[in-house]
């Protein structure tokens, strides 16, 4: 069996695929890769389908040893990639011989990197997904040093980096935002907030808070939203990209590990797509603006 050994797990490295959509009515969150474009590109570079499991790293990368010959690719946040101490390509297929060490370094910009291996990481799926869900604890555990990761059987031959960037299934290298601009579809609980607050929301500047995580991107530094009423809602269903407003009035954008229900009012929703992928790469302190999405 082909395997990779984790030598250095980094600050937070998890296994991710496209998650578990369709189980929210059973209380099961979706989870999955935060930056789906970078995840899909990494898989495309090694000849995997987009749904194959990758490693999602956070800020300071990961170090792996190939216990068998494998082909890997690193995408997402740009970083130094080294094989046995020598520079290797980022954003392109890299062949590792048995015993070779792959070091994915600290992000030079952005926050999250993706490591794909040809054949995909073949850990045991839970409800059809190999994604680690930090909120529910479902899926494989967070990686730690000494973990051995099995690799599935390979698919087609990997493609070159240039070819991967041209195919529709891989929408290109992900953006690392200097400022995060989030389109917002207002509602369903916009009537819980004053008209003046809603106007300020679409003109103010916030910052990404250090308290952000895979559950939600928290904001700081902007005007709190004033309500038209007190109290809280009964818990209701939440979706990816929902912008919930807790009692401090500062918006929280729900990401992949968000809960399936919540009792704070949702002022709007950021549609799935490039903006949420960019949110996955936004470091604490990056500016945030909400703009009307119609």
For the stretch 189-204, pLDDT in tens is 999 999 999 999 999 9
pLDDT in tens, 221-263: 999 999 998 888 899 999 999 999 999 999 999 999 999 999 9
For residue 35, is pLDDT > 80?
A: yes
Residue with token string 């559950």: 215
| Residue 156 contacts residue 264 (beta carbons within 8 Å) | no
Report CA 70 to chain centroid distance, whole Å. 24
Query: How many angstroms separate the most distant Cα atoms in the chain?
Result: 63
Task: List the one residue out of 203, 191, 291, 294 whose CA is nearest residue 245.
Answer: 191
Give pLDDT, residue 172.
38
For residue 164, is pLDDT > 70?
A: no
Structure tokens at 14: 């998890």
Residue 267 and residue 122: Cα distance in Å, rounded? 39
Q: What is the mean pLDDT of the chain?
A: 92
Q: Is 116 left (phi over 0), alpha (psi -120 to 50) or beta?
A: beta
Give pLDDT, residue 177.
73
Residue 281 and residue 183: Cα distance in Å, rounded? 16
Cα atoms in the 13 Å half-sphere on the side-chain side of 18: 12
Give pLDDT, residue 155.
74
Domains, the chain, ordered by start: 3-150 (no CATH), 179-292 (2.40.100.10)
Give pLDDT, residue 15.
98
For residue 163, is pLDDT > 60?
A: no
CA distances from 41 to 107, 144, 291 (A): 17, 25, 28
Give pLDDT, residue 293.
85
Cβ-proximal residues to 50 (8 Å cutoff; 6+ apart), any chain? 18, 39, 40, 43, 44, 169
Give pLDDT, residue 268.
97
């Amino acid at each position: 069996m082909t395997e990779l050994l984790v030598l250095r797990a980094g600050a937070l490295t998890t296994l991710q695929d496209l998650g578990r959509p369709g189980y929210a009515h059973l209380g099961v969150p979706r989870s999955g890769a935060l930056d789906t474009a970078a995840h899909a590109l990494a898989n495309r570079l090694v000849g995997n389908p987009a749904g194959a499991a990758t490693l999602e790293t956070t800020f300071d990368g990961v170090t792996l040893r190939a216990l068998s010959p494998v082909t890997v690719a690193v995408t997402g946040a740009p970083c130094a990639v080294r094989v046995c101490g020598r520079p290797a390509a980022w954003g392109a297929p890299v062949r590792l011989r048995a015993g070779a060490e792959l070091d994915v370094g600290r992000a030079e910009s952005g926050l999250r990197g993706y490591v794909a291996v040809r054949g995909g990481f073949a850990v045991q799926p839970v409800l059809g997904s190999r994604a680690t869900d930090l909120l529910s604890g479902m899926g494989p555990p967070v990686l730690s040093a000494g973990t051995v990761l099995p690799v599935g059987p390979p698919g087609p031959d990997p493609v070159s980096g240039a070819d991967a960037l041209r195919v529709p299934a891989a929408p290109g290298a992900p953006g690392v935002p200097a400022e995060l601009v989030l389109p917002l579809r207002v509602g369903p609980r916009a009537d819980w907030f004053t008209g003046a607050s809603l106007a300020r929301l679409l003109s103010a500047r916030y910052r990404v808070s250090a308290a952000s995580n895979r559950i939600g991107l928290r904001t700081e530094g902007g005007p709190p939203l004033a309500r038209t009423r007190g109290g809280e809602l009964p818990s209701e269903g939440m979706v990816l990209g929902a912008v919930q407003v807790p009692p401090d009035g500062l918006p929280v954008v729900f990401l992949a590990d968000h809960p399936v229900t919540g009792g704070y009012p949702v002022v709007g929703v950021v549609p799935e797509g490039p903006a949420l992928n960019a949110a996955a790469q936004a470091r604490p302190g990056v500016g945030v603006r909400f703009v009307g999405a119609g």
